[in-house]
């Protein structure tokens, strides 16, 4: 779902986010409405996964507007001045999820629109596009070197660089859409 296997620079990360937006929109748009809102035996419906991805992406985008000095005050500065590659962050993140890390306060509410299913589908997919459009721009005011020297706090990975947090913002929806795709194949 991501064209570039290891996006790292601001421009590569932005392109990966925009490609993700398009690919996941098309994927979820292709799911028939009755299946989009259908509950699996375990977990969330595809629609609830989208709502969850929207919540997290929107909130995550806000973290990039915090001034660098505030992050440095609370989390310190990354003395190594480098970030892990996308593939390594992916491995770390997916391992943590397999170990049982969960959504906590970002669990979506039940999606069960008895009427106006098409309208609700359009709303959540429109929100997805808006959130990813905005997310793709949050690094514009950051210098490349600040993405590696500035630390932020991930809920279950702890202190990571701003660049690594942006990568998580790309990996998170990929993770959820993969779960949905697996369940739909069964």
Tell me the CATH number at 175: 1.20.120.450
CA distance 124 to 97: 24
b/e map of 149-186 (b: 16 or more CB within 10 Å)? bbbbebeeeeebbbbbbbbbbbbbbbebbebbeebbee
The separation between the first and the last C-alpha atoms of the chain, rounded to the nearest angstrom, is 20
Mean per-residue pLDDT, 55-78: 92
Residue 177 is assigned to a structural domain of this protein: yes
What's the full length of the chain, in residues?
A: 186
The total number of structural domains that make up the chain: 1
Residue 101 is assigned to a structural domain of this protein: yes
Residue 36's pLDDT band, with cuts at 50, 70 and 90, is: very high
Residue 98's pLDDT band, with cuts at 50, 70 and 90, is: confident
pLDDT score at 99: 87
Residue 72 is assigned to a structural domain of this protein: yes
Residue 4 is assigned to a structural domain of this protein: no
Residue 5 is assigned to a structural domain of this protein: no
How many alpha carbons fall within 13 Å on the CB side of residue 3? 12
Do residues 161 and 147 touch, judged by C-beta distance below 8 A? yes
Q: Which residue, chain included where needed, has tokens 């942006």?
A: 166
Q: Which domain holds residue 60?
A: 10-185
Mean pLDDT score of the chain: 91
pLDDT score at 41: 85
Residue 156 is assigned to a structural domain of this protein: yes
pLDDT score at 186: 79
Residue 30 is assigned to a structural domain of this protein: yes
Residue 2 is assigned to a structural domain of this protein: no
Mean per-residue pLDDT, 17-32: 96
Better-scored residue on pLDDT, 154 or 113:
154
Q: Above 80 in pLDDT, residue 112?
A: no
Q: Above 70 in pLDDT, residue 136?
A: yes
Kindly state the tokens that stand for 103.
């959504």
């Amino acid at each position: 779902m991501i064209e570039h296997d290891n996006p790292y620079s601001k421009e590569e990360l932005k392109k990966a986010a925009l490609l993700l937006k398009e690919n996941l929109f098309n994927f979820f748009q292709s799911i028939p409405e009755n299946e989009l809102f259908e509950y699996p035996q375990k977990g969330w419906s595809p629609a609830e996964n989208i709502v969850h991805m929207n919540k997290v992406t929107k909130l995550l985008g806000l973290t990039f507007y915090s001034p660098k000095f505030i992050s440095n005050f609370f989390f310190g500065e990354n003395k190594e001045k480098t970030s892990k590659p996308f593939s390594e962050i992916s491995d770390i993140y997916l391992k943590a999820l397999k170990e049982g890390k969960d959504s906590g306060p970002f669990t979506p509410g039940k999606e069960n629109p008895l009427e106006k299913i098409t309208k609700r589908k359009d709303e959540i997919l429109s929100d997805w596009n808006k959130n990813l459009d905005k997310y793709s721009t949050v690094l514009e005011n950051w210098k490349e070197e600040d993405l590696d020297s500035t630390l932020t706090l991930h809920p279950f990975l702890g202190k990571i660089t701003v660049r690594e947090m942006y990568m998580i913002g790309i990996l998170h929806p990929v993770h959820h859409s993969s779960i949905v795709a697996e369940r739909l194949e069964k």
